[in-house]
Amino acid sequence: FRNQVTDIKMVVNQVFNNFKMIHPDFTFSLDDDLRKPTYVSMFRDHLEQVLIILMDNAVKYSQTRKEVHVSLSEDGRNAQVSVQDFGEGIAPENMDRVFNRFYRVDKARSREKGGNGLGLSIAKRLVEGYNGHVSVESSLGHGSIFQISLHILTDQERHHLEELQATQEPSKPLDETL
């Protein structure tokens, strides 16, 4: 999986457009500062899964002000994707725990919103499995920003990985790796 070269910009755009289609009641905006295209070393389905988890939460926890802002940027050698909502936010004492397995801030809500508290733990595990980072900033009652950061491949690294990829078997499906 580490050998897979993926254009982060393309995957973000695809997930973004799907969410726009699925949630016509929301306002989605996308800020894109990346040079095109920007390659990272992450299995494409894994990146897609992470983005879906973050976007899905942004929609789920911001039913009052239906707005989600996605931004793509780069900082030195890393590419960042951040997903911002303007919904219920997270209290400071719960911020560390949202990435834990089965943790939900409001347990009574589980039936109503259908989650089980696994999404963010999976997202964190996937991103860190590729030496990336996840972080969150939030303000209770005002909204949250979840961000992932991944190393941008240099041209040399990319060519090397593409050569390796060409000599290897096709990747396994997502559920075999979690």
User: What's the min distance (Å) between Cβ of 162 and ligand ATP?
Assistant: 33
Instruction: Determine which residue in the list 19, 38, 85, 132 makes contact with ligand ATP, applying CB under 6 A.
Output: 85
Q: Between residues 63 and 165, which has the closer beta carbon with respect to ligand ATP? A: 63
Applying CB under 6 A, does 153 fall inside the site for ligand ATP? no
Q: 8-22 and 44-60 are packed helices; what angle lies between their axes, rounded to 10 degrees? A: 40
Binding mask 109-128 for ligand ATP (x = CB under 6 A): ------xxxxxxx-------
The CA distance from 88 to 109, in Å, is 13
Applying CB under 6 A, does 156 fall inside the site for ligand ATP? no
| Interface positions with ligand ATP (CB under 6 A) | 53, 57-58, 61, 85, 87-90, 98, 103-106, 115-121, 144
